[in-house]
Structure 1
């Protein structure tokens, strides 16, 4: 038997070497998804010419996180029906295998750190081919500053501030996409790569002058401990429901948080409100407390007495917590 197997392997190797059989692996360059949902990263392989009988292939998926500096991490290895997943991907990944040659990776649910470059590698013992696919989150970028005021956060404080609001520091690509979508903001904020930048759609004196063209303007890489800016946060989470609590009276901040708890939820975070506005179409012309002590409200359809003529999340900043407002609550769906 061993002699027969060796003979077959030698014959197949000769066929490969002679160019009669070639392995092809294909995948799209980029896949977009929403945090908290699931995603399928396509990967298909085939042979030219087609084989008369299937081969026992090994499928390996690896992942390089955003700003991973070249380091790849194993996600899953599969041979036939046997498979093994690794690290934070354990229990969240599987191969789709809808048809012969389908080695697509299914991730469910998506977590906030799952973005990056994924490599699908197909090994049949004779040839090794791979392809990469970039996983991006569809989401919304929003500017954020400290309750103490503007330009008061170093990089580490900005990163923590975004995470507390159910989001994370935006990448340059995410800020650039937001600028293309109309985000116009004069205050510079930290990004994930350690730079401080800001998007300008309409050049004006208060935003660097009218001589500069529209675009994302950069202060370059800054000292992460000493320099202080605001932050640009990115959220892509739709894991729960955000709603304006219908309450008979206005509430101070403490009363607002308690009212959400009494309703079976908790007071919403800024990132959750932005996600509800962006993905669910939450439109509410009522100012309400949020978990960070700010007061905001989301508008899809601009109208009289609801702020500016553009859609967005309106902010009243951080008013004294004894003042009375409504409240936005959040309930987890699962």
Structure 2
């Protein structure tokens, strides 16, 4: 009886293997599942045909609220005369380098989208082999790397393409002062100002455009960095070359810095209101509401300055309690000789200034 047990296990294993071979086919040590590309007899083509998936090398640029098309095409070599049944999967690696998540899967004319992309994405099939991804109503956090994968039976090929938004990066610290934000509160602070934590690529582009800031701030990937165009002793050393200074990855809960926020285009516009004797903070909010608008956020003021050329040499309240003004054309008595958004910090709420309001279209 003891010797019969191994024999029984062997018989069961052979029966299981026979079932698997009958169910899905077995060849050269690999199981193959017929997904409709065979000849109807559960035979898989082995004819040396290779699947190619292609896209552009350059990133796709867009602005918030617009649509973007991420190109992707597939072809066979040699070319096939009979269409094959393929499955397409688009996935996304966020700018914060988190987990790759599904965006859309499609089989034939059927498709399904996921998460925040639901209802905003579709495939463009304007020519044979095209499976480009169209994303509508772009959001600030849609930036990142997208993967287009085409699956044909057991063979699959994929390519990646980056989506970047055009916008403006600005340093941000709360009213409590310098270095009070951990990673989570930095994310929240940017979101409250109609923006998002900047990516390294966005900060690098801002540095190339002349951004110089000596306070370290969080980025979307959890690193802490700051841009220097004019090296000096207090900012990494006077002998160092210009560039992005990095503290590397920091503890997201226990370490505290400022934030670098990123804002893109607006669906509305920002404008200035004033009263003869100025407005305190409460009055500033009320006068915007009375004009069927809201007091503008910092990210909205920066976006209006960058995208709409807002130029005003008058200090005004913003939603976070700060007082700022935008200068597109530098001139005497309006701050430094470079364009930018000037800041008076966070004065007491009883001080009197104008106000910047925002109204959406």
Q: Which runs of 5+ in 2 are unaligned?
A: 1-33
TM-score (norm 1): 0.89
Give the length in aligned residue pairs.
Answer: 326
The change in CA–CA distance for 1:245 and 1:99 in structure 2 (over 3 A counts) is farther
TM-score (norm 2): 0.83
State the shift of 1:256 in Å: 1.0
Pick one of 292, 305, 329 that aligns with 1:264. Answer: 292
Larger displacement relative to structure 2 (260-269 or 195-204):
195-204
In 2: Cα distance, 1:8 partner to 1:277 partner: 63
Quick check: 1:57 aligned with 2:89? no
1:262-310 deviation digits (Å, cap 9, x = unpaired): 1111001001111111122222222111000111111111112221110
What is aligned with 2:271? 243
Pick one of 34, 37, 40 that aligns with 2:66. Answer: 37
State the shift of 1:180 in Å: 1.4
What is aligned with 1:206? 234
Pick one of 79, 83, 108 that aligns with 1:80. Answer: 108
State the shift of 1:8 in Å: 7.0
1:80-116 deviation digits (Å, cap 9, x = unpaired): 2221112221111111112222111111111232222
Q: Which runs of 5+ in 1 are unaligned?
A: none
Runs of 4+, deviation exceeding 6 Å: 8-12
Pick one of 255, 261, 267 that aligns with 1:227. Answer: 255
Contact 1:13 1:126 in 2 (8 A): no
What is aligned with 2:46? 14
In 1: Cα distance, 2:55 partner to 2:145 partner: 12
Pick one of 196, 206, 213 that aligns with 1:178. Answer: 206
Contact 2:62 2:165 in 1 (8 A): yes
CA RMSD of superposed structures (Å): 2.4
State the shift of 1:217 in Å: 1.4
* SS of structure 2 residue aligned to 1:7: coil
What is aligned with 2:17? none
1:152-182 deviation digits (Å, cap 9, x = unpaired): 2233322221121111222222222211111
* SS of structure 1 residue aligned to 2:158: strand
Bigger Cα Rg: 2
What is aligned with 2:196? 168
Contact 2:274 2:353 in 1 (8 A): no
The change in CA–CA distance for 1:152 and 1:126 in structure 2 (over 3 A counts) is closer
Pick one of 200, 203, 216 that aligns with 1:188. Answer: 216
Contact 1:115 1:136 in 2 (8 A): yes
